[in-house]
């Protein structure tokens, strides 16, 4: 095991980075717990020092007041600047540890004729609570312990100072061993979770997306589209388009099935690029599409595609978008392939539409009209008049 592996608790740097979200979440949770405890602890000692309970020295009142104020300010900063601390996630644990160590040193100085106990507790607490990079955590604990030893040397009798040195060296070594062992086990858990998450994501992608085009498969498209219909606002304009490639059988017969697959891939990528559908994180696409009102695109099988267009104002905007798709297909020039022709059938969603099968049938009627009108056209279905309107 090399130094880099030790520094990242037994895993490589790429795995460590993959687990950074879990590391950040764990530290954030522990900061919340420890800082609340620190606030309550100082508040209790402050009250006890003011009223003289449990033998708490009144001379320590100012110390407890300062640390109580610091902890409350830190808590407030965490709430107000959460985005900043998420971005610079390593800062917050070290701010928390600095307060804890400073408190331990201050408590030790206040009790000049007693061996330090609180500081030793703080060292172990920090070692077990926070995870960062082993070298950085070890350096922080060693430097803060050096500050503790110096304060003990300056403020305590020599016999007490020697005992403090012995105790901190013993506890520091133990804390570093516990820190590495405990956090290595935690990293192993993070790594296992990450691997399971990747497997889950891969299964989600395989069950939801067409392998050839990366578009949604038929089942997942209709599932998402059905949810969109159920949750759509009355003032949202939505259109559904069926797209069928013209002369696809002839392409397969004359240019071969490999070229046929390439044509389907080009058609799929053209739809994605022109409509503006982001599939960079496929495993979260369903949630993002429903939450943010994204358009959807799917492959129904063979050379037939379906698109649910959202985010456009009206029919004219949809017509313009689909014309861009058609023009892009018509200008494809790849090997012996000079242009891809396609017929479009489009239907607008109405407030009465709650069933995707009904919507699909209307779009299919419009697609049939495009084929009948000479192909390579865009045809809108007009539900008000019960007829199709063809557009070149």
Q: Which two tokens stand for residue 71?
A: 């902890």
Higher pLDDT, 270 or 386: 270
Judge whether 213 lies within some domain.
no
Residues 178 and 224 in one domain: no
Average pLDDT, integer, range 304-315: 94
| pLDDT recorded at residue 390 | 53
User: Which residues are within 8 A (CB) of 164 and not within 5 positions of it... i.e. 6 or more apart?
Assistant: 108, 115, 116, 148, 149, 152, 156
Judge whether 192 lies within some domain.
yes
Helix H or strand E segment including 307: strand 304-310
**What pTM was estimated for this model as a whole?**
0.66
Q: With contact defined as beta carbons under 8 Å apart, do 244 and 252 qualify?
A: no
In the structure, what pLDDT confidence band is assigned to residue 218 with cuts at 50, 70 and 90?
very high
User: Which residues are within 8 A (CB) of 255 and not within 5 positions of it... i.e. 6 or more apart?
Assistant: 335, 336, 337
Residues 52 and 190 in one domain: yes
Give 353-383 pLDDT, tens digit per residue: 888 999 999 999 999 999 999 999 999 997 5
Q: Which two tokens stand for residue 201?
A: 């994501």
Cα angle for residues 32, 134, 33 (degrees, 5° grid)? 10
Which sign does the torsion angle of CA 116, 122, 124, 125 carry?
A: positive
Residues 156 and 105 in one domain: yes
Residues 252 and 179 in one domain: no
Backbone angles phi, psi at 313, to 5 degrees: -75, -40
Q: How far is residue 264's CA from residue 272's CA, in Å, rounded to a whole number?
A: 12
Judge whether 246 lies within some domain.
yes
> Which one, of 119, 216, 222, lies nearest residue 163 by Cα?
119
Give residue 380's domain range. Answer: 218-391
SS3 268: helix
Percent of the chain past pLDDT 70, that is, above it, reads 95
SS3 150: helix
CATH of the domain at 257: 3.30.70.270
Number of helical H runs and strand E runs in the chain: 15, 8
Percent of the chain past pLDDT 90, that is, above it, reads 65
Residues 8 and 107 in one domain: yes
Residues 76 and 105 in one domain: yes
> Which residue, of 152, 178, 204, is where some domain finishes?
204
Q: How far is residue 299's CA from residue 322's CA, in Å, rounded to a whole number?
A: 16
Mark residue 52 as left, alpha or beta (left: phi above 0; alpha: psi -120 to 50; beta: remaining). Answer: left
SS3 83: helix
Residues 144 and 236 in one domain: no
Residues 280 and 304 in one domain: yes
β-pairing verdict for 238-245 and 304-310: antiparallel
Residues 85 and 147 in one domain: yes
User: Which residues are within 8 A (CB) of 299 and not within 5 positions of it... i.e. 6 or more apart?
Assistant: 210, 212, 213, 215, 216, 217, 218, 264, 268, 305, 306
Question: Of 88-102, 150-164, 281-295, which gets the smallest average pLDDT?
Answer: 281-295
> Which residue, of 181, 204, 227, is where some domain finishes?
204
Judge whether 378 lies within some domain.
yes
Judge whether 212 lies within some domain.
no
Q: With contact defined as beta carbons under 8 Å apart, do 115 and 160 qualify?
A: yes
Q: With contact defined as beta carbons under 8 Å apart, do 115 and 152 qualify?
A: no
Residues 198 and 298 in one domain: no
| Rg, C-alpha atoms of the chain | 33
Judge whether 353 lies within some domain.
yes
User: Which residues are within 8 A (CB) of 340 and not within 5 positions of it... i.e. 6 or more apart?
Assistant: 245, 263, 266, 267, 329, 330, 332
In the structure, what pLDDT confidence band is assigned to residue 202 with cuts at 50, 70 and 90?
confident
| Number of structural domains in the chain | 2
> Which residue, of 204, 236, 254, is where some domain finishes?
204
Judge whether 223 lies within some domain.
yes
Residues 225 and 200 in one domain: no
Judge whether 210 lies within some domain.
no
Residues 261 and 374 in one domain: yes
């Amino acid at each position: 095991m090399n130094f880099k592996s030790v520094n990242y608790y037994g895993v490589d740097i790429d795995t460590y980075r993959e687990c950074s979200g879990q590391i950040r979440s764990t530290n954030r949770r522990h900061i919340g717990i420890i800082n609340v405890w620190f606030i309550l602890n100082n508040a209790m000692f402050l009250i006890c020092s003011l009223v003289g309970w449990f033998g708490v020295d009144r001379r320590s009142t100012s110390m407890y007041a300062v640390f109580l104020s610091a902890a409350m300010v830190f808590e407030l900063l965490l709430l107000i600047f959460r985005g900043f601390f998420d971005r610079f996630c390593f800062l917050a644990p070290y701010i928390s540890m600095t307060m804890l160590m400073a408190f331990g040193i201050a408590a030790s100085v206040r009790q000049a004729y007693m061996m330090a106990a609180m500081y030793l507790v703080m060292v172990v607490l920090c070692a077990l609570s926070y995870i960062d990079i082993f070298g950085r955590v070890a350096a922080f604990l060693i430097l803060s312990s050096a500050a503790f030893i110096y304060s003990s040397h300056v403020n305590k009798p020599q016999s007490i100072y020697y005992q403090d040195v012995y105790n901190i060296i013993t506890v520091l070594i133990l804390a570093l061993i516990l820190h590495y062992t405990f956090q290595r086990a935690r990293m192993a858990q993070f790594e296992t979770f990450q691997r399971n998450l990747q497997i889950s994501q891969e299964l989600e992608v395989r069950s939801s997306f067409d392998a050839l085009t990366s578009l949604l498969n038929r089942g997942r498209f209709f599932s998402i589209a059905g949810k969109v219909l159920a949750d759509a606002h009355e003032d949202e304009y939505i259109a559904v388009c069926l797209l069928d490639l013209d002369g696809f059988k002839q392409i397969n017969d004359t240019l071969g099935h490999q070229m046929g697959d390439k044509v389907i891939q080009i058609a799929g990528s053209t739809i994605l690029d022109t409509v503006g559908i982001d599939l960079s994180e496929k495993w979260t696409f369903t949630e993002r599409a429903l939450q943010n009102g994204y358009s959807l695109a799917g492959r129904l099988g063979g050379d037939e595609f379906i698109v649910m267009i959202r985010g456009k104002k009206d029919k004219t905007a949809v017509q313009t978008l689909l014309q861009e798709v058609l023009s892009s297909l018509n200008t494809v020039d790849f090997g012996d392939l000079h242009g891809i022709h396609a017929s479009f059938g489009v239907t607008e969603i109405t407030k009465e539409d709650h069933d995707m099968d009904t919507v699909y049938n209307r779009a299919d009627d419009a697609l049939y009209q495009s084929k009948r009108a000479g192909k390579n056209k865009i045809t809108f279905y007009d539900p008000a008049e019960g007829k199709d309107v063809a557009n070149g």
